[in-house]
Amino acid sequence: MKSYAAVDLGASSGRVMVGRVTPDSLELAEAHRFPNRPVRVPEGLRWDVLGLYAGVLEGLRAAGQVDSVGIDSWAVDYGLLDADGALLGNPVHYRDARTEGVAEKVWGRVPAAELYAATGLQYAPFNTLYQLTAARESRQLAFARRLLLVPDLLSYWLTGEQGTELTNASTTQLIDPRTRDWSYDLAARLDIDLGLFPPLRRPGDAAGMLRAAVLEETGLTGPVPVTAVASHDTASAVAAVPATGERFAYICTGTWSLAGLELDAPVLTEDSRAANFTNELGLDGTVRYLRNIMGLWLLQECVRAWGDPELGGLLRDAAAVPALRSVVDAGDAAFLAPGRMPERIAEACRASGQPVPGTPAEVTRCILDSLALAHRRAVEDAQRLAGHPVDVVHIVGGGTRNALLCQLTADACGLPVVAGPTEAAALGNVLVQAGAHGLVGDRHAMRGLLARTQPLTRYEPQGGTGRWRDAQARLATR
Ligand code: LFR
């Protein structure tokens, strides 16, 4: 039996989980959970990365002695270091407004179609490439000698060693998904200095040892290695999809819904670009072919606006509201920024000539119906664009706790949904560490172990997909 600490940082909370693994068993326990509260300062929205690091240290202390540590987090964001290795300011939040209008400038130099052909990445205003372009004139970037993506930054603080983990690097829009290496030509054309990034490392690579000061602070006995995992949380979550065959789609649910397929090669066609599908990199040479959907962010922001009512009651009331009265486009980047979410949803319904949801239960129902509809569209589009049919949809992540969302997704897709595990990112993180230490084999072996050991819930589709097609048509004719 080996024990692994999985540090998993999400947009609203971080956790340190301990996975205990043998070739036939897999158990996960929470050692420590802490809030991740972005802070708005006069310059914009920033991550409190020192607070997160403090949470990681506290979590490692609570975890107790482990055989290795792995770190995953959300994608695209980074910290800059000066020539002495000190952090230059707080990392900018991907929901910060600094990238507004930047993409158009980039496309003036490299047309969007060429960018997609070179990187396979969806258009999202927050891709690292646009963030770096937005920061081009900043003094901070001028002084920077190193750029570390968030998990790589925390790993550096724990070990003193620097690297750029590949699955997360693939979200920068500076990686070529065919060569799985930097897109040197593109970076040169956009004056982006790839020398800022330390060398690439891959899931399973050694990432250094906990520094003596970290051992002292956490009470651990060294040496304790840090292992590079699939450090993009979505890559870790997809690694933990408990699929038993090849014909599956997945939806990683949480702040975002990431819905799509696991493929052997990227899809770089013009149709794929128009549908805004992304080709991010995963374990064992795989591609995460998926679409970003706003996800439970829509509900989280409403709940915040309503003064944090109890979620269970809200979902029960929402289940009693008639289905599909009004839907919004849950893929619309207009919902990206924080604030005024109930009003923005009401405005979107009004603008498309649908009934305007009034009560929190009605707004919640509108959000869940809209998410299920966006899930349906992504699963259908992905199959068509990749020529890869599926028989089942796996839902992993926080949204598995939301039974109504899981059932609506099964109904909308007209396919069975298998929901679980909830802590998919942490499990994927643990399993890559276990793989690096020879306890489990490739991703198929990992999935087999998950399917045998994790509680899963199956939802059968009900009611036919006709009303979902009609709802989609309502949105399309806007
Ligand atoms: C999910 C996620 C998504 C990424 C978004 C922003 O937590 O990592 O995959 O598109 O956050 O980083």
Q: For a substitution probing ligand 1, which of 47, 93, 170, 258 has the most ligand atoms within 8 Å of its CB?
A: 258
What is the mean predicted confidence (pLDDT) over 450-478? 92
Reported as a single tens digit per residue, the pLDDT across 221-277 is: 999 999 999 999 999 999 999 999 999 999 999 999 999 999 999 999 999 999 999
Ligand 1 atom nearest the C-alpha of 280 is: 9
Burial of 245 from C-beta contacts in 10 A (0-12 / 13-18 / 19+) = exposed
22: number of CA atoms within 13 Å, CB side?
3
ipTM of the complex: 0.98
> Model pTM greater than 0.90?
yes
258 with 460: CB under 8 angstroms? Answer: no
- pLDDT tens for residues 25-47? 999 999 999 999 999 999 999 99
The backbone torsions φ and ψ at residue 24, rounded to the nearest 5 degrees and listed phi first, read -120, 0
For 474, what's the count of Cα atoms within 13 Å in the CB-facing half-sphere?
22
Flag whether pLDDT at 215 surpasses 80.
yes
> Which is it for the CA torsion 66, 69, 72, 78, positive or negative?
positive
The phi, psi pair for 227, rounded to 5°, reads: -110, 135
Q: What number of other Cβ atoms are within 10 A of residue 335's Cβ?
A: 21
**Protein residue closest via CA to atom 8 of ligand 1:** 74
Q: Is residue 400 within 8 Å of 420, Cβ to Cβ?
A: yes
Helix, strand, coil percentages for the chain (3-state, nearest 5): 40, 20, 35
Judge whether residue 478 has pLDDT over 70.
Answer: no
How far apart are the C-alpha atoms of 467 and 257, rounded to whole Å?
22
Assigned token pair, 434: 């276990």
Minimal-distance CA residue to ligand 1 atom 9: 234
Is 233 a known active-site residue? yes
Record the tokens describing residue 474, joined without a space.
């309502």
Mean pLDDT of 125-147: 97
Tell me how far apart the alpha carbons of residues 376 and 368 are, in angstroms, rounded to a whole number: 12
Instruction: Please name the residue whose Cα sits nearest to atom 2 of ligand 1.
Output: 74
Q: Which atom of ligand 1 is nearest to the CA of 258?
A: 9
Closest of 210, 198, 80, 193 to residue 158, by C-alpha = 210
Q: Who's near 179: CB < 8 A, 6+ residues apart? A: none
Residues 66, 99: Cα–Cα separation, whole Å: 40
94 lines ligand 1 (CB under 6 A): yes
Query: Is the minimum distance from the CB of 47 to ligand 1 under 6 angstroms?
Result: no
For residue 164 and ligand 1, the question of a CB distance below 6 A is answered with no
Position 477 pLDDT exceeds 70 = no
The whole-angstrom separation of Cα 397 and Cα 323 is 24
217 CA to centre of ligand 1 in angstroms: 30
**What are the structure tokens assigned to 318, written together?**
């929402």
